[in-house]
Amino acid sequence: MARRELLFEGEIKIWLDETEVIAELDNRYKPDPFNKQNYYSKTKSVVSAVESLFRELVEEGVIPIGMSDWDD
């Protein structure tokens, strides 16, 4: 049987600030007590803002990118 593991849970809010789009992670439901950083991205389009936000989350280790990042 395949083992499923939750890789990401959070709420992403997308804002329009004049001509730029802001995508931010609102993780108020499960705040990380060790990392109080706010994650956000500001670009010219919704797609690139969300993609950039997820890239930041991967780089910061919030979202694991491979099997070697998971605990057994």
Q: Could you read off the pLDDT of 10-34 as tens digits, one per residue? A: 788 999 999 999 999 876 655 566 6
Give which of 10, 5, 3 is closest to 50, Cα–Cα: 10
Single-letter code of the amino acid located at 26? D
Residue 29's pLDDT is 55
Residue 71 has pLDDT above 70, yes or no: no
Start-end of H helices in the chain: 46-59
pLDDT classification of 72: cutoffs 50, 70, 90: very low
Is 70 exceeded by the pLDDT of residue 68?
A: no
Q: Is the pTM of this model over 0.85?
A: no
Tokens matching residue 47? 């797609």
SS3 at position 68:
helix
- DSSP-derived letter for residue 20 is E
Which residue shows structure tokens 């849970």?
Answer: 9
